[in-house]
Structure 1
Amino acid sequence: MIRMFLREYRTFFLAYFLLAGSFLLLFYLYQLPWTFFVQSILLASTIFLIIMLSLFWKFFHRMKVLKDGIHEADLYILNRPIDRVYLALLEKEKDETRQQLLAYKKREEDLQALVKLWSHQMKVPLAALSLMSQTKQLDPQSVDSQLLRLDNYQANLLNYLKLSNQSSDFRFEEVDVRLIMVDLVKKYRTHFLHKQIAVSIDGDWTLKSDRKWLAFALSQILDNAIKYSSEGGLVQILLDQGVTIRDQGIGILAEDIPRLFDQGFTGFNGREHQKASGFGLYLAKRVLDQLELDIQVTSQVDQGTAVVVRKK
């Protein structure tokens, strides 16, 4: 403790010895009586010793408080300006750490919920494929449909992890949205054929965006349009300074629309039909926000839903 104190206040001791040396030099040069020098040094040393003892007492208590942990009752000891600045910095770092831990805990909870849901969803197409294999009824169209569902669930999980870890590799370029929608319609052709849903694509829209992530967001919207469409229905895709995907499906309750993009929210019709995961539109919204695009939903029950994506 004494060694730490000497190191802390070494400037004080150095200044004292320099002053004492200066007095000694002056007394020597002017041939002053040494009695005065001795008396001056004794007086100065006594005052200096009292000050150092006082500083050492305070230093000892501050170090003890810091080693044992700072409590509310001990804050009066740390009353120097530098102590207050240090305590304020510690409190700020503590708050930041607490916020980071809460955010990390929430991400972990969200990830656990998603993995549980994802594993549950994966069982359905896997069970269907297993049943077709056991019964020797491997219909190519049905197999393609189940494989596409598995691919979509895997993409959702991987992209959720990328977005959560902020490791998204956005690369902006001129994108022809019509080509993206044509590719998506080809990708989901088995679903369209299975439910005998007609599809139309009209217009054009070109913007500067990330092709891969925009395609992923639009695929979630198109997948929902197919999922909730009735057999023999129609999905219309209109491109004009934005993209509108309109279906003739079961629709969405008005009170559910404001919460469509909340994580895990399925809505009344989603729960009734047991098809919704609550992550598709949530992920689409997160991606579109980072692409600086806006998404709006209008719907009427039993008449259909229209989803519009355009620049903000």
Structure 2
Amino acid sequence: MSLLSAYLRRQYKLLLLLLGFFVIFAAVFSLYDLPSEAVAYAAALCLALGLALFAVGYSRFLARHRELRLLLRQVREKVLPLPPPRGLLEEDYQALVQALCQNRARLAVENENRLRDMTDYYTFWAHQIKTPIAALGLLLQEREDSGALEVELLKIEQYVEMVLSYLRLDSSSTDYVLQDCDLDGILRGAVRKLAKMFILKKITLDFQETGKTVLTDGKWLGFVVEQVLSNALKYTPEGGTIRIYGDRDTVVIADDGIGIRPEDLPRVFEKGFTGYNGRTERKSTGIGLYLSKMVMERLYHGITVTSRPGQGTLVRLDLSRGKRVAE
């Protein structure tokens, strides 16, 4: 809708009133048989005055419209710098808007404090729970038949790390240290951490060293590799194979597991999405790949997933963008 038509719609009552006046005066003039020249002259004067007033009103309408559009860009401010009110009703509306802004600012502060308290609590809890987990790990090492228990304990430790990563991801205190890292060292560290799972499920690892040095944050990239490998281990049957190899600036992690349905593939990085396999197997939280995607974006890397049901899944970690950022 154009501004002119909007202004006309705003003034339609006044226009209808003026039209009614015109009809009444025309009827009276015709009844008294007044000279047409005098009537036309009066009508011309009224029309000229009306057009002048219309132009002034329309210009003010445009000016106020521009002011409000500028204020729209400052809508996140606690107090909006509203223009001077033109009348009592407009003053009331502005007071209402300012009250809403102040109330919104108060709620935002309350929510921020509540979120900070909750984050601090869960961070404290996650750090504290690591102590009994480590103690259980030491106790299990003394038992000969503790393989399955150690794997379950490793899963608990992974979930704790996932909670910490989730809390740290959007924290203002999280620093991403981009530096040259030995890619094979990061990959070996993730494999070493999940070695018990490989052994328990009798899964073959085909690890081809890349010989690459990449610009990244080694800790966060290691977290992503662990998440991808953990998913591969979950959905690869006993006796299967997981391959890790390099393809130029890309690390490929491939398995011959159950795969992912085509309709689920576009949503695998959505927060909380588990897909058909996750609902059937009840092994998925829908958080791992979401966190991996977020971390890779913050490291200026990329991650893609391709899969076929019954044939396996292939995950590509594109590490080339970090190099371009450094340049």
Give the TM-score taking structure 1 as reference length: 0.60
Aligned to 2:289: 281
Q: Residue 226 of structure 1: CA displacement?
A: 0.8
Q: Quick one: structure 1 residues 153 and 297, their matched pair in 2 at CA, closer, same or farther if it must change by over 3 Å?
A: same
In 2, the alpha carbon distance for the partners of 1:164 and 1:103 equals 16
Q: Secondary structure at the match of 2:264?
A: helix
Q: Secondary structure at the match of 2:239?
A: coil
1:76-87 to structure 2, matched below 5 A, reads 76-77=87-88
Aligned to 1:299: 307
Would the aligned equivalents of 1:205 and 1:243 in 2 still touch at CA under 8 Å?
no
1:80-119 to structure 2, matched below 5 A, reads 90=98, 97=105
Q: Which one-letter code corresponds to 2:222 in the other structure? A: A
Task: Determine whether 1:163 maps to 2:174.
Answer: no
Task: Determine whether 1:148 maps to 2:154.
Answer: yes
* Cα deviations by residue, 1:93-138 (Å, 9 ceiling, x for unpaired): 5698499589969x79x98xxx9xxx9xx9xxx9xx9xxx9xxx87
Q: Residue 242 of structure 1: CA displacement?
A: 1.4
The sequence identity of aligned pairs, in percent, is 34
Q: Secondary structure at the match of 2:263?
A: helix
Gaps of 5+ in 2: 1-84, 322-327
Pairing partner for 2:276 from 262, 268, 280: 268
Gaps of 5+ in 1: 1-73
Rg larger in structure? 1
Q: Quick one: structure 1 residues 268 and 98, their matched pair in 2 at CA, closer, same or farther if it must change by over 3 Å?
A: farther
1:64-75 to structure 2, matched below 5 A, reads none
Q: Residue 166 of structure 1: CA displacement?
A: 3.4
Q: How many residues align?
A: 219
Aligned to 1:253: 261
Q: Which one-letter code corresponds to 1:309 in the other structure? A: L
* Cα deviations by residue, 1:3-54 (Å, 9 ceiling, x for unpaired): xxxxxxxxxxxxxxxxxxxxxxxxxxxxxxxxxxxxxxxxxxxxxxxxxxxx
In 2, the alpha carbon distance for the partners of 1:245 and 1:89 equals 55
In 1, the alpha carbon distance for the partners of 2:274 and 2:105 equals 33
Task: Determine whether 1:199 maps to 2:205.
Answer: yes
* Cα deviations by residue, 1:222-242 (Å, 9 ceiling, x for unpaired): 110111101111100012311
RMSD: 3.9
Aligned to 1:186: 192
Q: Secondary structure at the match of 2:173?
A: coil
Pairing partner for 2:215 from 202, 208, 230: 208
1:3-82 to structure 2, matched below 5 A, reads 76-77=87-88
Q: Which one-letter code corresponds to 1:168 in the other structure? A: T
Q: Quick one: structure 1 residues 248 and 154, their matched pair in 2 at CA, closer, same or farther if it must change by over 3 Å?
A: same
Q: Secondary structure at the match of 1:296?
A: strand
* Cα deviations by residue, 1:228-279 (Å, 9 ceiling, x for unpaired): 1011111000123111100000100111111111111100011111110101
Q: Residue 90 of structure 1: CA displacement?
A: 4.6
Give the TM-score taking structure 2 as reference length: 0.57
